[in-house]
Structure 1
Amino acid sequence: MSTEEQLYTISVYTENNIGLLNRVSAIFQRRGINIESLNISSSEIEGVSRFTIVANMLEDNVKKIIGQIEKQVEVIKAYYHDDEETIYQISGLFKIKSDLLFEERQIQNIIKESSARIVTVNKEFFVLEKSGKKEEIDLLHRELKPFGIMQYTRSGRIAVTKDEMKISALLETYNN
């Protein structure tokens, strides 16, 4: 068991009920743990939502939090994984003045080197999208900042595990 804090990705499979997000976030709040990112989406199972929560903590704390989350009536199952056990991405959107795209060769080089893609261009602004690890998005942000970023936003982590998750088999037993 790890005695150092590290980032954990927590996957929570749940029925989609009002108020659950507040109760889940309260579990972290009571323990004084900050949620680094949160994403909620449909899952691979019809009618089941998946929360993907990223937080920095000790392994002992993540085990306790999983136990607390699973006590929620709507929660089917919760899992935690470290970064070595997951494949993950985040996405960043950058809105920048259009004249820079055509007048600043350096911006064109930054776009090419970062593998960002241009989502839209009009006469006032263009929007770049970059998916990757947090460090890659942060690097692109630092490189574009001197040129003036009109707007910027970053998504929460989305992740899948390298190993099979037994959630589908678990749900089959509930349905029989």
Structure 2
Amino acid sequence: MQKEYTVTVYTEDRIGITNRITVIFTRRQINITSLTTAETEIPGVYKFIITVLSTREKLDKVVGQIERLIEIHRAFVHEEDEVVYQELALYKIATRNLNNHNIEQLIRDNNARILTITADYVVIEKTGHQQELLSMLKQLEPYGLIEYSKSGRVAIVKWSRRFHEHLKDLSLKQAEL
């Protein structure tokens, strides 16, 4: 049965690694719905957070293939209850609608905040899960929505402490060389 999973991949910083990872998903005909990557707290180690709709069996095979790549430290498949995650959305609406007190209440009720106000537009920021961000999008449409942009998932795995200790040990060993 297909459902949403989060795949985390810890890599070295190498040119082309994103392509090499995504090709493995493509070959298995798994569509990536979100991909975020950034350096971890350990210098030189990067974390890919990949969201997909798939079956666990397919993903276990994909993770096995990913881990065979030389630049990969480890890769994991996570169920929704194994990660704490958020996404970020930016909404641009016409400034003329700021005079409407309903919009202020809407921003407050959604725990959002105003980032920028210009003569022409206002940019509002909200963090949350995808459904929350889409709900606010629908609520803002009547107020003259100009543009909408959403980030990929940012996640922390609940049980990853031992693995992070392992990565820190690797980092110390490399520093000694």
TM-score range, shorter chain: over 0.9
Where do residues 16-165 of structure 1 align in structure 2 (5 Å cutoff)?
16-102=13-99, 104-165=100-161
Could you state the TM-score of these two structures normalised by the residue count of structure 2? Answer: 0.92
Q: CA RMSD in A?
A: 1.4
Distance 2:120 2:15 in 1: 40
1:164 Cα shift? Answer: 3.1
SS in 2 for 1:166: helix
Runs of at least 5 residues in structure 1 that lack an aligned partner in the other structure? none
When the two structures are aligned, how many residues end up with a matched partner? 172
Q: Deviations over 1:7-37 (max 9, x none)?
A: 1111111011111111111111111111010
- 1:6 maps to 3
Q: CA deviation at 1:173?
A: 5.7
Distance in 2 between residues matched to 1:130 and 1:83, nearest whole Å: 21
Q: Distance in 2 between matches of 1:94 and 1:26?
A: 32
Distance 1:42 1:173 in 2: 15
Aligned residue for 1:141, secondary structure, equals helix
1:10 and 1:170 map into 2 onto residues whose CA distance is 19
Gaps of 5+ in 2: none
Q: Percent identity?
A: 35
Q: Which residue of 2, 15, 21 corresponds with 2:12?
A: 15
SS in structure 1 of the partner of residue 88 of structure 2: strand
Query: SS of 1:46's equivalent?
Result: coil
